[in-house]
Amino acid sequence: MNDFFQLSIEQGIAHLQLNRPERMNTMAPAFFPALRDAVQALHDGGEARVLVISSTGKHFSAGMALETFAGEGALLDTSSARARLSFQDGLRRLMGCFDVLDSARLPVLCAVQGGCIGGALDLAAACDVRYCSADAFFCIQEINIGMAADLGVLQRLPKLMPAGVVRELAYTGERLSAERALQLGLVNAVLPDAAALLEHTMAIARNIAGKSPLAIAGSKLAMNHARDHGTAAALQQMTLLQSAIFDTGEMAEAIMAWKSKREARFEGLHPVPGEAA
């Protein structure tokens, strides 16, 4: 385990909880590969059917820790052509630490209480679905410290809410309230407090975990492809995808469970060969 979050799996639900409330759950450099490796292991293992990311303390996360920007680290060195080339590789690897949330074959639900600031909004934007508490707020903080946000929020948020609003937030660094986030579609629900938020998110997770993990993974693949491609290309991808994952046995179990008013029993996804072995 690491110093940044706790991870557990119970009844197909993985729960990754940020646990540095005394530091407002800021993200030190080591946080990023730790998150990437944890999510990749969930993807590879096949045991978890849905991932919930939540936090502890007053704020979800205040974003990158100050030590990320301190000193003359290789990542922040742009003093020469060679340094800038290495900078690009280092930044792309950081981006990849959040990309894994988007590419994981299990849905990722994000529960935000308090501030979701800077890099934390990059993280939340990479998740499938977001919920928040009434005191939550979202902020593209990077512009307030003299830099453009660079871990995916500028690329993902315009696909989640109106582009004009995203541009205003990116240019001003102003806070987006929970109520406004709900109106704009950034979050699916606003709950009274952190306890109610986690309860609601876990209820959604249990619902998802009870569905066919094969059909869930296929649905995520299809929606991600449709988001990034035109309709014709996405429909063509769907014909190939459905031919690969269509399972009459899976459907029979779902229908029988529905008729019998019982929980369906589905086999988990197989582990990914190689790394997961």
Q: Per-domain residue ranges for the chain?
A: 5-209, 213-260
| 3-state SS class at 129 | strand
pLDDT over 80 at 276, yes or no: no
From residue 103, give the alpha-carbon distance in Å to each of 10, 19, 46, 107, 203: 22, 24, 14, 9, 23
For 5-209, CATH gives 3.90.226.10
* pTM for this entry: 0.95
In the chain, % of residues over pLDDT 70: 95
Give 223-271 pLDDT, tens digit per residue: 999 999 999 999 999 999 999 999 999 999 999 999 999 999 999 999 9
Burial class (CB in 10 A: 0-12, 13-18, 19+), 2: middle
pLDDT over 50 at 170, yes or no: yes
Identify the pLDDT of residue 74.
44
